[in-house]
Amino acid sequence: MMKSLNLYGKQDIRFEQSSVPVLEQSEDVIIKVKAVGICGSDISRFNKLGPYVEGMTFGHEFAGEVVEVGTTVGHVKVGDRVAVCPTFYCGKCENCKKGELSRCEKLTVIGARHPGSYAEYVKLPAENILPIPANVDYDTAALVEPSAVVAHGFYRTSIQPGAEVAITGCGSIGLLAIQWAKIFGAKKVYAIDIDDSKLQVAKEIGADVLINSKEKDPQPLIEEYTNGLGVELVIESAGSPVTSAQVLALPKKGGEVVFMGIPYADINIERFYFEKIVRNELTVLGSWNAISSPFPGKEWTSTIHYMSTGQLNIKPMISHRLQLEEGPKIFSKILNREGNFVKVLFYPELG
């Protein structure tokens, strides 16, 4: 048996013993989980939606060590340090056949309908496993998946070197977006949030201008910084019904907005903001998941590369390092905003 966190219902996550996964298919790989992060989507599902399957082992952002491989697995071996793409695609629907894997009709991740990574061990097919270089530690590699999510959105844009980029929301996705903006050539990045502690982390990882939107309206500030023009690209990563409308006023004419956050609420867009789409000829993009063809996609290999070079600096984003048994308590604390949480990592083998 192994330690695990299993989701039974809304706000009902339990620390339990679960069965250790075993090899069944020739392409199976079993990984010992070294570090696993809490995703914002985990909090939303814990709070509002509940499990896909009652009692399913939760979690999907992780890195670890290969402990067993099936007979046809060739690119990784026992003892290898790896990051993992936790996503499954069907390969048969119209979108998969076109190579648009993130639009798969049956897209799912571990922790939903397959056992997840809030556990000591996880099983996945070999094609989901990515070796990591020696200079990328497990804490960093645990964030390969959210980083790939952000990269997926940036690859959808037409950003070019010299662009100015605004990021709304400085949680994990926003903080990664600040760094990806620089990788894609942004000369100036504006970080927008209502939490000064998160803005300080944004500054540490490369944001050029910090805007606390609780204190000042970002739009006139960004107009002032850009000589009345606006920015080339806005990334909405707060997932707030309010910011999801307000971001439309930040790009310049012909600019772009990428929605990465999920508000889980109705969005009411005032005429002032909606007209920006039409009058300014904005390109408004949605971005979902992180996979592309050939699977898992350049989002993943690029992430590992830039983690290796240090251009993706993960360490300042990690606010809490905990044992798995602290899971039920910490989920409730995050939900009730009892503390400053950015990225929380669990270490299943401890304790």
Indicate if 241 and 302 belong to the same structural domain: no
User: For residues 120 and 16, is the Cβ–Cβ distance under 8 A?
Assistant: no
Distance CA 35, CA 61 (A): 8
- pTM above 0.95? yes
Of the residues 267, 286, 305, the one at which a domain ends? 286
Within this chain, do residues 210 and 270 fall inside the same structural domain, yes or no? Answer: yes
Do residue 116 and residue 173 come from a single domain? no
Asked whether residue 351 carries a pLDDT value surpassing 80, the answer given is no
Counting the structural domains of the chain, the total is 2
Backbone angles phi, psi at 86, to 5 degrees: -90, 10
pLDDT in tens, 99-110: 999 999 999 999
Q: Which of 270, 152, 276, 147 is nearest to 223 (CA)?
A: 276
* Whether residues 115 and 231 fall in one domain: no
Q: Which two tokens stand for residue 338?
A: 């009892």
Residues contacting 160, CB < 8 A, separation 6+:
185, 232
Question: Is 210 part of any domain?
Answer: yes
- 28: how many CB neighbours lie within 10 A of its CB? 19
Where a domain ends, among 254, 286, 318?
286
Give the domain range for residue 49: 2-145+290-346
Contact 229, 252 (CB under 8 A): yes
Q: Say how many C-beta atoms besides its own lie within 10 A of residue 30's C-beta.
A: 19
Q: Domain check: are 140 and 9 in the same one?
A: yes
Determine how many CB atoms are found less than 10 A away from the CB of residue 24. Answer: 9
Mean pLDDT of 131-159: 98
Instruction: Report the relative pairing of strands 81-84 and 61-69 from DSSP bridges.
Output: antiparallel
Q: Are residues 268 and 207 part of one domain?
A: yes
Residue 19 falls inside a structural domain: yes
Q: Are residues 41 and 115 in the same domain?
A: yes
Round to whole Å and give the CA distance between 20 and 32: 10
What would you report as the CA-atom Rg of the chain, rounded to the nearest whole angstrom?
20
Predicted confidence (pLDDT) per residue in 194-246, tens digit: 999 999 999 999 999 999 999 999 999 999 999 999 999 999 999 888 889 99
- Over the stretch 52-108, which tens digit does the pLDDT of each residue have? 999 999 999 999 999 999 999 999 999 999 999 999 999 999 999 999 999 999 999
138 and 170 both lie in a single domain: no
Cα separation of 194 and 109, whole Å?
31
For residue 337, pLDDT beyond 80: yes
pLDDT bracket for residue 350 (50, 70, 90): confident
What is the pLDDT averaged over residues 124-129? 98
Mean pLDDT score, 25-36 = 98
pLDDT of residue 199: 97
Whether 12 has a pLDDT exceeding 80, the answer reads: yes
**Model pLDDT, residue 127:** 98
**Residue 76 and residue 129 in one domain:** yes
CATH no. for residue 165?
3.40.50.720
74-82 LR contacts (CB < 8 Å, sep 24+)? 74/126, 75/126, 75/129, 75/131, 76/29, 76/126, 76/129, 76/131, 80/131, 81/131, 81/132, 81/134, 81/138, 81/141, 82/31, 82/129, 82/130, 82/131, 82/132, 82/141
- Decide if 150 is inside a domain: no
Same domain, 88 and 129: yes
Q: Are residues 302 and 271 in the same domain?
A: no
Q: How confident is the prediction for the chain on average, in pLDDT?
A: 97
At 261, is the pLDDT very low, low, confident or very high (cuts 50, 70, 90)?
confident
Same domain flag for 318 and 282: no
Q: Residue 152: inside a domain, yes or no?
A: no
CATH code assigned at 331:
3.90.180.10
What confidence score (pLDDT) does residue 55 get? 98
Instruction: Tell me the average pLDDT across 250-256.
Output: 98
pLDDT confidence of residue 339: 87
